[in-house]
């Protein structure tokens, strides 16, 4: 969840935010024909471009420490969603959660905060391509953790995909010859930590999501992430003030582009296409981020990203497809 992965698992994030929490909400397949194909492609393209820009915006805000960037990204995203709580129904739904559900919601928010802190920090030490490739592995960690956290068993096809994805991730993560990267092993480890934290966010929040609508869940977990990042910023003495207007504009852009435009575009598309298609589209984020880094930052992908990246992305796509097929969520 690079961005997202708030629901995307770049998180979020977002969810990283890429395993979209919203991907649990699918519209009828027949609705896919109620909008022109060009419109669907355009919206998905805009959404993909918006989430792919997240790593670039973070790199451009290098005048601020990583934890400061993570804190203000989540702060602005939370403020943008704050008006949602004017709804009495949303407040009632939140307070009606049972005690175990509240603890799961809190733990999910804590994982989201760790995801943002770890992934954004990784971009200070490794390349954009390696960082985004590794943080996109959260479906693999979801699969590995599911038998213990969610009591869900993987199919043998998914296990095969997990094995190949770990091979691809290893090729990317152990590449120590990345031009311009001061500590690639540290950066790659942080990106993997971000992916694992995003997996915890998705798994812990899975049962709570049945009780809350998408935006209530997103804003509640963002509040938990905000608390985690505030504590981490204070512990590491990361400054929260004193930045130039360009940096503040980048902070706001991180909330607007990946969060509001990127995630909203994917959520809109879910009304018309299957969730597995959205999951596959989101796997193009590392390609989009690497292309933007090449064009804007003059940062070419390393050999590890070139060789390990395709293995990793295809394996993750296979895991997503096989799991949704096992659960009967694919059309025949």
- DSSP structure string for 165-218: HHHHHHHHHT----TT-S-HHHHHHHHHHHHHHHHHHHHHHTTGGGTS-HHHHH
Helix (DSSP H) and strand (DSSP E) numbers for the chain:
15, 0
Residue 57 lies in a domain: yes
pLDDT of residue 328: 59
Residue 1 lies in a domain: no
**Number of Cβ within a 10 Å radius of residue 235:** 9
CB 135 within 8 A of CB 123: no
Phi, psi of 243 (to 5 degrees): -90, 155
What residue numbers bound the domain in which 254 lies? Answer: 21-326
pLDDT of residue 276: 64
Residue 97 lies in a domain: yes
pLDDT of residue 11: 38
Residue 8 lies in a domain: no
**Number of Cβ within a 10 Å radius of residue 273:** 19
Residue 163 lies in a domain: yes
Residue 139 lies in a domain: yes
What is the pTM for the complete model shown? Answer: 0.86
153, 7, 81, 73 alpha-carbon torsion, rounded to 10°:
130
pLDDT of residue 154: 75
- For the chain, the domain total comes to 1
pLDDT of residue 178: 83
Residue 91 lies in a domain: yes
245-254 helix and 66-81 helix, angle to the nearest 10 degrees: 60
pLDDT tens-digit profile, the chain (332 residues): 666 443 333 433 444 443 333 334 444 444 444 678 888 889 999 999 999 999 999 999 999 999 999 999 999 999 999 998 888 889 999 999 999 999 999 999 999 999 999 999 999 999 999 999 999 998 888 888 877 776 677 788 888 888 999 999 999 999 887 877 889 999 999 999 999 999 999 888 877 877 888 788 988 999 999 999 999 999 999 999 999 999 999 999 999 999 789 888 887 887 787 766 777 788 899 999 999 999 999 999 999 999 999 999 999 888 888 777 666 555 44
Radius of gyration of the chain (CA): 18
Residue 136 lies in a domain: yes
Distance CA 13, CA 17 (A): 1
């Amino acid at each position: 969840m690079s961005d997202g992965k708030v629901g995307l698992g770049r998180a979020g994030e977002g969810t990283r935010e890429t395993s979209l929490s919203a991907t649990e909400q699918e519209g009828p397949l027949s609705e896919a024909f109620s909008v022109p194909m060009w419109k669907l492609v355009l919206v998905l393209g805009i959404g993909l471009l918006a989430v792919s820009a997240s790593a670039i915006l973070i790199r451009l805000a290098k005048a601020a420490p990583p934890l400061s960037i993570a804190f203000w990204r989540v702060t602005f995203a939370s403020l943008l969603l704050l008006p949602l709580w004017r709804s009495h129904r949303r407040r009632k739904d939140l307070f009606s959660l049972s005690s175990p559900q509240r603890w799961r919601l809190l733990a999910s928010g804590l994982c989201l905060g760790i995801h943002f802190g770890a992934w954004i920090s990784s971009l200070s030490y490794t390349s954009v391509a390696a960082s985004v490739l590794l943080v996109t592995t959260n479906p693999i960690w979801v699969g590995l953790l599911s038998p213990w956290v969610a009591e869900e068993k993987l199919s043998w096809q998914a296990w095969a995909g997990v094995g190949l994805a770990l091979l691809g991730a290893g090729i990317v993560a152990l590449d120590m010859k990345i031009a311009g990267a001061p500590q690639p092993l540290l950066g790659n480890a942080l990106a993997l930590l971000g992916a694992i934290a995003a997996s915890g966010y998705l798994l812990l929040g899975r049962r709570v999501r049945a009780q809350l609508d998408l935006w209530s869940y997103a804003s509640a977990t963002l509040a938990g992430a905000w608390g985690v990042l505030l504590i981490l910023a204070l512990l590491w003495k990361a400054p929260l003030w004193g930045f130039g207007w360009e940096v503040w504009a980048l902070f706001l852009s991180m909330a607007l582009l990946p969060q509001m435009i990127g995630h909203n575009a994917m959520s809109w598309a879910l009304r018309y296409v299957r969730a597995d298609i959205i999951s596959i589209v989101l796997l193009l984020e590392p390609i989009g981020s690497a292309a933007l880094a090449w064009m804007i930052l003059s940062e070419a992908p390393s050999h590890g990203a070139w060789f390990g990246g395709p293995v990793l992305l295809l394996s993750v796509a296979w895991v997503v497809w096989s799991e949704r097929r096992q659960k009967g969520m694919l059309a025949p």
